[in-house]
Structure 1
Amino acid sequence: MNRRMRLWRSLAVVGVASLVLAACGGDDAEEPGDDGGVTTEEPEGEGDEGGEEQPPAEGEFEPAEGDPAMTIGTLLPQSGSLSFLGPPMETGAAVAVEEINENGGIDGAPVELVNADEGDANLNIVGQSADSLINQGVDAILGAAATGMSQRVYSEITGAGILQISPSNTGVEVTDWETNGLYFRTAPSDVLQGEILGEVILEDGHETLGILYIDSPYGEGLAEAVASTVESAGVEVVVQTAVAENAESYSAEVAALAAESPDAIVVVSYDQVYSIIPELESAFDDLSGLYLVDGNTKDLSVGPTEDEPGLPEGVVEGATGTIPGQSVEGTPFAERLLEVTPDLDSWTYAGEAYDAIILVALSAIQAGSTESADIAAEMVDVSGTDGTECSTFAECKTLIESGESINYEGISGPIEFDENGDPQSAFIGIYDFDASNVPVYREARTLDIE
């Protein structure tokens, strides 16, 4: 994909909160109706003839009921090295379905979710889970989370005529998959994340860079995107080494990296970071020049499992990480997520999952069909720039039913699918690790893509 980013701008946290507030709507002092608006009660018999119940006003919908109009399967990690990403994405999807069904669903009938476990490369269950969802007759599938897992099943899913939409596949090669127009993703290509991370490295004044990346499509694509960005500005990439996903030790790779003495280091990994960082700490005086990515920018004070410890306090203080999307912490959307999953401790890709479900439902309404091919044919238009901008399911549904074209603006930002199902505009969040090894949101940069 040879597209270049032309523009980025920083967004303050208050800007993010305002965006999500607009998307979620409502005043805490007023009672919300089914569509998130305000309800008023009339005395019985007033406001209509003979006290007869009036139909909902335009833009107001009765809750969906009856048999489901659409079943969406989720293929997300409930176990394995990416299991920390499962809860926010599953919760984001659940919030979307709740909102859809509160606002009349599709032709008055509800949307339902069926969940399956993606696992990871070691567990090797993604094919079995995809088969299960296909055999249950789902109308669309949300997932998988990892590009490598989707790579194993996208041919099977789309070959069965089922629409697939991932909230977190960022691999560069996804753009070139042959899917008969049935694959979409709400997370941007790693071309975008790589360029933003590269820009941050350049802004920090580094002159040499070493990159360790897991040997997978995700790792290779993101590493190359970072490298090409910094090299184009004169930074020397002294090491760009793939590491095995399941290695017992990364000491040899870290020793080779240390021998080149780069003043900045990028680690593209998932939970391998828990093994790599202690090796880096032993080989380098400090890790303030460490840069992480969406697969490992998380609370590293907590171990990868309940039985394993997190990293020693302060070991990554001053490091920087990136995650596609905007932080939703402290927003009404986050409150809605916590209503569904009270112990949720991560927001990563929750907005992208929410947006994916909303887009599928709106496209079904615009198509007048829940057939995957019909829905897919409307996804570009529903997310595009030519229609009336709207940011809630109820608002967008009202516009569609009145015959207007729409431009859905999501929780995760503008999406605007192209003919490959790739979003053409996206936000990348930038985080700084504190003394407790916790990433703290700094800002989001948004990109226009040529």
Structure 2
Amino acid sequence: MALLAPRSLTAMTLTGIMLLVAACSGSSSVPAPDSVPDLATSVAPQTSDGILRIGLLIPQSGPGAAIGEPLIAIAQAAIDLVNANGGVMGQDVEMIVRDEGADAASALTSIDNFLANDGIDVLIGPFSSPTTLSVLPRLMESNIGTCSPSATAISLASFPDEGLFIRTTPSEGLLTQAMAQLVAQTGINETSIAYPDDSYGRDFVVELRRALLVQGISVTLESAFAPADSDYSSLAEELSAQSKGVITLIGDSESGARFLNSLVMANSTHQIVVNDPLSAADLSTNENLNSSIRRNIIGVAANAFAGAGETSAEHIAFSAAIVDCVNLLTLGSIAAGSDNAIAIMSQVIVTSRGGSGCGDFPTCLALLKAKLNIDYNGSTGQLDLDPNGDPSRASFLTFSFGNNGLSAYKGPLDVMSAP
């Protein structure tokens, strides 16, 4: 989408939005859970009655409510459009809304109510990556097809979901490929990597190494830092002195931002490539703010507003991603001729690639009625799900840091996942 100049970069990125949602990505400031909460077992079995019921698990309380509440109307409008065009299998699609809350325990309570009282077939949500990782076992054992519009954690790509989980926002795995492209665009074929020594950082750096290898970039040095440390000056000076090429920095908006400030203070002469959360870094008090060091920093961030309309009523974070979930699930149900989640999810990935292109429900429905295979591209025109159910291409934002020490939009960066 075209970025509106008056809007701040942080407000446009997943980081800026999900600071309100308590870590959509499961970054090191809010770690992914180490264990899955206890699961209830007295749940009514899923039955097929010819009516597609979609549960919408969305933050209505806690810090995430600020972005969750407006999306209810967006999802309902998408459902209304489906029903205005004949619904699914001749029946109106039903949507039931429950609160994701601020943690996995709250989300699990809502999921148990979805299953025991509402008889949902598929679910849109959760929003938070840590919550998604916690509740997916519950959803999988109940054979509930799930589409998250915002969970980005790398670890979700390897979750054993048996084909029942997809997401419509690009994952951090795709973000690593965007970072590798930025490194390659410097013309330098060597990089050092600094990353937080936690589950988030270790998962991220594994994918980043692969992405850099595809770009022909050699990793010459790696430096893991403890997120709880308050002073990174010595480590930053050592990294700057020993690095031979680009410095690639992975971090969250807290410890990562401190490390970035330390690199700038260390008078690093290297070009520095940073990830999404560092768009929230504040360099305004750094003594080297007005030097070439600051101008050597470039970052890449996912766009939470990709595909959203430009009016105030339409310009809502994740609005396109949530509409994509509605359309993929309903089109999958129509293609399968069933409201059974296993049948639906077997068609969802198929409908997102390889057929006749379409970007909205009515157009796609007309193609299905004409017995044609469809390629649902969504409002961004870029949605393609890979065999794992993750978007395989996206348009990211690149950013630099301005004279005020805050991140500023630089330009778009289109990325397609490596084979």
Identify the match of residue 430 of structure 1 among 397, 404, 408: 397
Q: Corresponding residue for 1:335?
A: 310
Partner amino acid for 1:400? L
**Separation in 2, partners of 1:229, 1:179:** 24
Identify the match of residue 264 of structure 1 among 247, 253, 258: 247
Partner amino acid for 1:388? S
Q: Is the 8 A contact 1:13 1:443 kept in 2?
A: no
How big is the shift at 1:325?
5.9
| 1:131 matched to 2:112 | yes
* Structure 1 residues 434 and 256: alpha-carbon distance in aligned structure 2, compared to 1, 3 A threshold: closer
* Structure 1 residues 264 and 365: alpha-carbon distance in aligned structure 2, compared to 1, 3 A threshold: same
Counterparts of residues 162-181 of structure 1 (less than 5 Å): 162-181=144-163
Q: Corresponding residue for 2:356?
A: 388
Of 259-268 and 224-233, more deviation after overlay is shown by 224-233
Q: Is the 8 A contact 2:201 2:250 kept in 1?
A: no
Identify the match of residue 198 of structure 2 among 215, 240, 245: 215
Q: Corresponding residue for 1:117?
A: 100
> How much identity, in percent, do the aligned residues show?
18
Counterparts of residues 34-433 of structure 1 (less than 5 Å): 69-75=52-58, 79=62, 93=75, 96-97=78-79, 99-106=81-88, 107=90, 109-117=92-100, 119=102, 125-137=106-118, 138-205=120-187, 207-213=190-196, 215-216=198-199, 218-230=200-212, 233-241=216-224, 243-244=226-227, 247=228, 249-252=229-232, 255-261=234-240, 262=243, 264-270=247-253, 272-273=255-256, 276-281=259-264, 283-285=265-267, 289-294=271-276, 296=277, 298=279, 300=280, 312=284, 319-324=297-302, 328=306, 333-335=308-310, 338-339=312-313, 344=316, 347=317, 349-385=318-354, 387-423=355-391, 425-433=392-400
**Separation in 2, partners of 1:259, 1:95:** 55
**Separation in 2, partners of 1:141, 1:408:** 19
**Separation in 1, partners of 2:410, 2:209:** 24
Q: Is the 8 A contact 1:104 1:110 kept in 2?
A: no
3-state DSSP of counterpart to 2:394:
strand
Unaligned runs of 5+ in 1: 1-11, 15-67, 302-309
**Separation in 2, partners of 1:160, 1:414:** 31
3-state DSSP of counterpart to 1:339:
coil
**Separation in 1, partners of 2:65, 2:193:** 28
Q: Is the 8 A contact 2:236 2:262 kept in 1?
A: no
**Separation in 2, partners of 1:364, 1:187:** 21
TM-score (norm. length: structure 2): 0.70
3-state DSSP of counterpart to 2:204:
helix
Partner amino acid for 1:339? A
Q: Is the 8 A contact 2:359 2:381 kept in 1?
A: no
Q: Is the 8 A contact 2:168 2:383 kept in 1?
A: yes
3-state DSSP of counterpart to 1:353:
helix
**Separation in 2, partners of 1:208, 1:126:** 41
Structure showing greater Rg: 1
* Structure 1 residues 359 and 288: alpha-carbon distance in aligned structure 2, compared to 1, 3 A threshold: farther
Partner amino acid for 1:256? L
3-state DSSP of counterpart to 1:381:
helix
**Separation in 2, partners of 1:230, 1:189:** 17
**Separation in 2, partners of 1:229, 1:133:** 39
How big is the shift at 1:76?
5.2
- Number of residue pairs aligned between Structure 1 and Structure 2: 356
**Separation in 2, partners of 1:181, 1:407:** 19
Unaligned runs of 5+ in 2: 4-50
* Structure 1 residues 215 and 374: alpha-carbon distance in aligned structure 2, compared to 1, 3 A threshold: same
